[in-house]
Structure 1
Amino acid sequence: MASKKVDINTANLQDFAQLSGIGVRKAQAIIKYRKAVGGFTSISDLSEVPGLGYGIIEQSRLCLECTVASKSRHRAARGRKSRSDVETAESEVPIESPQPSTSTCRSLRSRLIETPSTSVSDDSLTSNQGKTEGGTPPEGVRAREEDNVEGEVEEDGEEEEGHWSPEDNGPQVSDDEVSSPTEIDSAPPSPQDHRRIQRVNTQRSRIPILVGKMKRKSYGCGEEVWKPPFKRPCRADDFDSQSTFGNLKKTTIIPSYAGGHRPRIPSKENPPPRLMEWLQTFQRWSNAERLMAVDELIQICEPTQVRHMMQVIEPQFQRDFISLLPKELALYVLSFLEPKSLLKAAQTCRYWRVLAEDNLLWREKCKEEGITETLVYGSNRLRRRTGCRSPWKALYMRQHQIEQNWRAAELRSPKLLRGHDDHVITCLEFCGSRVVSGSDDNTLKVWSVITGKCLRTLVGHTGGVWSSQMEDNIIISGSTDRTLKVWNAESGQCINTLYGHTSTVRCMHLHKNIVVSGSRDATLRVWDIHSGVCKHVLMGHVAAVRCVQYDGKRVVSGAYDYMVKVWDPETETCIHTLQGHTNRVYSLQFDGVHIVSGSLDTSIRVWDVESGNCLHTLIGHQSLTSGLELKDNILVSGNADSTVKVWDITTGQCLQTLQGPNKHQSAVTCLQFNKKFVITSSDDGTVKIWDLKSGDFLRNLVSLDSGGSGGVVWRVRCSNTKLVCAVGSRNGTEETKLLVLDFDVEDKKT
């Protein structure tokens, strides 16, 4: 509340805004209204301001005062004028005029009633009573009339049809003309009176009678009251004595029209005035200006008008444009949808289903997801099971279900493959439906993952088997007896025995019919597995060779001499010696462009194979990096510090660290990964699955009862639908065996 009284005729925006319950917006409305009416005559006039209620006025009444100007106000004559013209006319000095007496009003009314040319109602007569020569209504009425006046001035500066103005009611009658009631009563109607009455009635036919609040006061005319031409008086016979406010709201007042003619409804044939001019102006505007105009138009529209806009606009966006396009273009549009969205689109209608099951479309989706598995299980059976016509879609849906099985489906009971007694399983290979396990019991065993039976036992080595490779039906094994043996997996026969190394064959890599072996004798040998001939010997390391990779062109080796070497096997020359590690190199990965090496010095290094330069040194692990897997520039490393990390070798950035409350509790022994998951095993007796992109732990796939007390998972190998784990212990707490877990959606038999 303000500390001093505020004069409502002179106060500015700030003075009104500081009053309790008013604020800036209501203050602006008060000032706008004050300018329109030329000032207030009392504090009660504030109730006519749009947005102000009696409660707000009474709350601030003690802080308000009203100083009335010495001259009376009048309403400027208005015809079809713009808003600015109206405000200018009303701001001019009002013309004083005495109010007509009661006798004058009555005489004038009786004279008009007796006019034979047309009938005049009380409303049309009294609409001129109490006006001055300039056509201005009494001061107290003028403010209440403004509610109707404000709504009649359109944005383009012209008033609506039906607006009252003094000129429309014909010549004004001064006191001089009606100085004597007798003179008026006895005088016959003049032609001027006839014209005046006709114009009054014509004006009434153009003015809709509005239902609104009506305040009736006396302004010096006795019981006769001046009323705006927009309202008709509320008569006693309209409502009974029991009328309530709710009844009044329901009462309908029918508008009257001169001659029975109603206003024409706007249509295309009968558009509103200046509509085309407005549309042409809109077309000349820029896009930004049009958007602004639309925003402003929506803000001033009523809910019914906005609802009409929605009814017109929504159908424009509900057209089935896919069905209208040629099939090639429709398929091109659908190719941008995700597979999940394609499945939803297929439920729209029959034609969309035909498009959404296009075989070539789903072939591209399989290609994007890296699903390269062929339909070896029979496309017809898959099509019947999935209910779709596209073999590629059937394959995609099958793969999706398999991924869901890995993530969350209930684990089936694993198959148990027993056969190495209590010996350690040192190497594990998985190809097709066969698994090969090598042990320090000097044997290898070939298993069927479908039946869980041991198909073959490969006997021939005289020492423990420490390395192996498998491709199709060919198995290569390396042993502490310093030899390599080539086996036929189908028959179990030893095809060739490769002699040459002088110590344990610790590692090997098979590419087509060439195998490269690394030994503790610090040499590497290149063999032809079909002929059994040693083609090349690579010498240069000064300690045991622990890991080797071969891509058919170059050989990369890591050794206990802290070195990584790149060889040309054809010339038996060392191309690069990669120095940087400060301890033994235990693991390698090579994709033809990058070399990744893991060492006991806790670091991982990324090298360029052409230049031999170290591109990145990946720091983060705290111990020996024993396992590495590299695919599409994504590297996953397992460490003896019980953590697994995901790296981008192009940037050297660590993308994820697989740890947290569900991390391994001991050294990571082995890992596998694809585009979706990472699978890790550990000395703590568990096998865990993680989400590759988010790094989130999904669940335990294997959890040995003896985990933590000696049970160990030594090796894991995965296919698209199977997981094979080699488990056991070094203290006899866990039986040595293979576990086979199946995540396929259907059973298959060989």
Structure 2
Amino acid sequence: MLILEDEEEEAVCTCVPNHESENEACAEEENYEAEVAGSSGSDSEHQYDESIQSGDEVDRFRRKRKADDSPSTGDGVVKKPFSETGVESCRNNMQQNNPPDLRHWLNKFVQWSPAERKVAIDSLIVRCAPDQVRHMMQAIEPLFQRDFISLLPRELALTVLGYLEPVDLFRAAQTCRYWRFLTDDKLLWKEKCRRKGIGPMRKRPSSMPDTACSWKAAYMRHHVIENNWRFKRSAETAKFLKGHDDHVITCLQFYGNKILSGSDDTTLKVWSANTGRCLLTLVGHTGGVWSSQMVGRIVISGSTDRTLRVWDAYTGACLKTLTGHTSTVRCMRLYKDRVVSGSRDATLRVWSVSEGKCLRVLVGHLAAVRCVQYDGRLVVSGAYDYYVKVWNPETAECLHTLASHTNRIYSLQFDGVHVISGSLDTSIKVWDVETGALKHTLNGHRSLISGMELRSNILVSGNADSTVKVWDINTGQCLHTLSGSNKHQSAVTSLQSNSRFVITSSDDGTVKLWDLKTGEFIRNLVTLGSGGSGGVVWRIRASPTKLVCAVGSRNGTEETKLMVLDFDVPGACLKCED
């Protein structure tokens, strides 16, 4: 759990030993005396001997330590005073128990070379009794328990602390005030956030403790949100958004704190994820909506009425109607002012959104186009003719036809370098987009590849066989199979992943959370009461703090609705993510 170090209780520094035992105090003092004795040759020998007899050097050592540990104004840091009891006791012992030849022995020792001193020390240890060796250990050990962080320049200290994990930094902040001052450094936490992909936090949630470092607060919020995904019972406080009657919700998207849903009832709706209120109903299609996308204030939708429509997401006005396809618009991909649509008429079309006209028609597939990807440079399409094609959208030229599947293509992923295709033939294939070469065939599923998501080199695939798999596309290796006793009991309908979790939904009426790195089942986020008897979770989409599920049934046992679960920190600003 997150350690909140911003409590008012003062922490006592435990880095410097408190020297309550006389042996530890003597060890500190003897170490200092050895440094003095070995630093200035024959002239120091007389001074050293005098200090042994008079105790002046011990007093100087004590004053030095007291000054070092006294309140400092350098960084506003107050340190605890050093205990004097052990030093006084050690001085008394030295004055009372000095052997008669100690002075001569020490004078002889300091005249030897470093190598000779090591031989002498080895010989001394061999001749010591066990209790004397134990005394040496007790005297030496405290010398290695110095607070070296406080002795380093601030830049070096921060470099050292930068290697610690954040949870260790939270613990280090409780050590002493100076460590707490260092662990609140802005650049230190900014780097931790960068590694996790955490952006700046514009406003601190009211439930979080105040901290001078906004980057540290952002990391703390991120940590709490992650724990909420793992443990918080959010289904009990979920919001239910109703508006598509008993129809199927066919497409779903999160954009900021807005939700876009499309249905076979011919409408689209824009919702507020914070309040659950329906902001807009987009009416105009005369057939069911099967594809949609929102970017900024633009919404694009494709329908069984063979058209695409361009909407203003703020006013709900239909800005353009794009006509030209001769059958259902099954898929689309929007990039800046261009949208590429795929249809059951076996063609793809490239449109200008602002002009509302068709720029190119991509002809080559022999059956319905089921999925399309577009990155502004290349178009990749998959169809029921078993082929994947790569196109130049500026010239309408087909650059590659990727032929290896033996059944319909149902899903595609494209990162600009790799094309990943999933098919009814149960295989997933990884292609090089520049050469069209097949790099890997990922086998392991036993049914239709119903959905995929690619992040960096990690691919997550869902299947009608109720299993989910995690792959490394660089090696073609299956890293995890998300199954076992907690696996779905029916086909996987939708999935989403990020750097930590995989979220999956199923015909069995459940939404499950898995650990991406280990493949372990974490928990059920949603369990419908009608699951197993008709209740279905059709689609899921997630933002960093929320999950929306499109719920319904095929036999009337479950009302059609959107279910929104919130995992954010209480008191977070609702406007920050709009």
SS of the residue corresponding to residue 707 of structure 1 reads coil
Residue number in structure 2 paired with 1:400: 223
- Of residues 164, 171, 195, the one that matches 1:337 is 164
Over 3 Å counting, the alpha-carbon distance change for 1:268 and 1:682 in structure 2 is farther
Residue 280 of structure 1 and its aligned partner are, at CA, apart by 3.6
- Cα deviation per residue 1:178-222 (whole Å; 9 max; x = unaligned)? xxxxxxxxxxxxxxxxxxxxxxxxxxxxxxxxxxxxxxxxxxxxx
Query: 2-side partners of 1:422 and 1:268: how far apart?
Result: 100
Over 3 Å counting, the alpha-carbon distance change for 1:320 and 1:574 in structure 2 is same
Residue number in structure 1 paired with 2:513: 689
* Corresponding letter in the other structure for 1:388: T
- Of residues 401, 407, 417, the one that matches 1:583 is 407
Query: 1-side partners of 2:451 and 2:98: how far apart?
Result: 89
Structure 1: segments with no counterpart, 5+ residues: 1-261
Residue number in structure 1 paired with 2:42: none
Over 3 Å counting, the alpha-carbon distance change for 1:520 and 1:359 in structure 2 is same
Residue 674 of structure 1 and its aligned partner are, at CA, apart by 0.7
SS of the residue corresponding to residue 237 of structure 2 reads coil
Query: 1-side partners of 2:449 and 2:98: how far apart?
Result: 90
- 8 A contact 2:109–2:117 mirrored in 1: no
Residue 283 of structure 1 and its aligned partner are, at CA, apart by 4.9
SS of the residue corresponding to residue 150 of structure 2 reads helix
* Corresponding letter in the other structure for 1:476: I
Matches within 5 A, 1:174-185: none
SS of the residue corresponding to residue 577 of structure 1 reads strand
Residue 556 (str. 1) matches residue 380 (str. 2): yes
Matches within 5 A, 1:333-412: 333-372=160-199, 374-376=200-202, 378-379=203-204, 385-411=208-234, 412=236
Over 3 Å counting, the alpha-carbon distance change for 1:269 and 1:369 in structure 2 is farther
- Cα deviation per residue 1:442-472 (whole Å; 9 max; x = unaligned)? 1111111111111111110000000111112
Residue 314 of structure 1 and its aligned partner are, at CA, apart by 2.1
Matches within 5 A, 1:216-615: 264=99, 267=102, 269-270=104-105, 280-281=115-116, 283=118, 302-372=129-199, 374-376=200-202, 378-379=203-204, 385-411=208-234, 412-615=236-439
SS of the residue corresponding to residue 665 of structure 1 reads coil
Residue 345 of structure 1 and its aligned partner are, at CA, apart by 1.3
Over 3 Å counting, the alpha-carbon distance change for 1:620 and 1:301 in structure 2 is farther
Residue number in structure 2 paired with 1:655: 479
- 8 A contact 1:266–1:272 mirrored in 2: no
Over 3 Å counting, the alpha-carbon distance change for 1:402 and 1:274 in structure 2 is closer
- Of residues 695, 717, 731, the one that matches 2:541 is 717
Residue 628 (str. 1) matches residue 455 (str. 2): no
SS of the residue corresponding to residue 436 of structure 2 reads coil
SS of the residue corresponding to residue 595 of structure 1 reads strand
* Corresponding letter in the other structure for 1:621: H
Residue 676 (str. 1) matches residue 503 (str. 2): no
Residue 301 of structure 1 and its aligned partner are, at CA, apart by 5.6
- Cα deviation per residue 1:96-133 (whole Å; 9 max; x = unaligned)? xxxxxxxxxxxxxxxxxxxxxxxxxxxxxxxxxxxxxx
Residue number in structure 1 paired with 2:524: 700
Over 3 Å counting, the alpha-carbon distance change for 1:531 and 1:599 in structure 2 is same
Residue number in structure 1 paired with 2:63: none
SS of the residue corresponding to residue 391 of structure 2 reads strand
Query: 2-side partners of 1:574 and 1:559: how far apart?
Result: 14
Residue 399 of structure 1 and its aligned partner are, at CA, apart by 0.5
Task: Kindly indicate which of the two structures has a greater share of residues assigned to strand.
Answer: 2
Over 3 Å counting, the alpha-carbon distance change for 1:266 and 1:698 in structure 2 is farther
Over 3 Å counting, the alpha-carbon distance change for 1:441 and 1:276 in structure 2 is same
Over 3 Å counting, the alpha-carbon distance change for 1:347 and 1:499 in structure 2 is same
Residue number in structure 1 paired with 2:565: 741
- 8 A contact 2:201–2:217 mirrored in 1: no
Query: 2-side partners of 1:572 and 1:694: how far apart?
Result: 43
Query: 1-side partners of 2:522 and 2:369: how far apart?
Result: 37
Over 3 Å counting, the alpha-carbon distance change for 1:301 and 1:730 in structure 2 is farther
Residue 579 of structure 1 and its aligned partner are, at CA, apart by 1.1
- 8 A contact 1:536–1:572 mirrored in 2: yes
* Corresponding letter in the other structure for 2:213: S
Residue number in structure 1 paired with 2:86: none
Residue 530 of structure 1 and its aligned partner are, at CA, apart by 1.6
Superposition RMSD in Å: 2.3
- 8 A contact 1:547–1:588 mirrored in 2: yes
TM-score by length of 1: 0.61
SS of the residue corresponding to residue 362 of structure 2 reads strand
SS of the residue corresponding to residue 102 of structure 2 reads coil
Query: 2-side partners of 1:331 and 1:278: how far apart?
Result: 38
- Cα deviation per residue 1:315-353 (whole Å; 9 max; x = unaligned)? 222222222222222111111111111111111211111
Matches within 5 A, 1:114-125: none
Q: Computing the radius of gyration over CA atoms, which structure comes out larger, 1 or 2?
A: 1
Matches within 5 A, 1:79-158: none
SS of the residue corresponding to residue 575 of structure 1 reads strand
Query: 1-side partners of 2:493 and 2:98: how far apart?
Result: 91
Query: 1-side partners of 2:101 and 2:401: how far apart?
Result: 90
Structure 2: segments with no counterpart, 5+ residues: 1-96
* Corresponding letter in the other structure for 2:173: A
Paired residues in the alignment total 477
* Corresponding letter in the other structure for 1:455: L
Residue 638 (str. 1) matches residue 473 (str. 2): no
SS of the residue corresponding to residue 462 of structure 1 reads coil
TM-score by length of 2: 0.79
- 8 A contact 1:601–1:623 mirrored in 2: yes
Over 3 Å counting, the alpha-carbon distance change for 1:736 and 1:654 in structure 2 is same
* Corresponding letter in the other structure for 2:346: A
Residue 308 of structure 1 and its aligned partner are, at CA, apart by 2.1
SS of the residue corresponding to residue 610 of structure 1 reads coil
Residue 304 of structure 1 and its aligned partner are, at CA, apart by 2.2
Over 3 Å counting, the alpha-carbon distance change for 1:310 and 1:559 in structure 2 is same
Residue 282 of structure 1 and its aligned partner are, at CA, apart by 6.8
Over 3 Å counting, the alpha-carbon distance change for 1:297 and 1:564 in structure 2 is farther
Residue 273 of structure 1 and its aligned partner are, at CA, apart by 9.3
Residue 726 (str. 1) matches residue 550 (str. 2): yes
Residue 276 of structure 1 and its aligned partner are, at CA, apart by 7.9
Residue number in structure 2 paired with 1:12: none
Residue 274 of structure 1 and its aligned partner are, at CA, apart by 9.4
Residue 739 of structure 1 and its aligned partner are, at CA, apart by 0.2
SS of the residue corresponding to residue 508 of structure 2 reads coil
Residue number in structure 2 paired with 1:216: none
Query: 2-side partners of 1:686 and 1:278: how far apart?
Result: 77
Query: 1-side partners of 2:384 and 2:130: how far apart?
Result: 81
- 8 A contact 1:414–1:741 mirrored in 2: yes
Over 3 Å counting, the alpha-carbon distance change for 1:302 and 1:482 in structure 2 is farther
Residue 410 of structure 1 and its aligned partner are, at CA, apart by 2.7
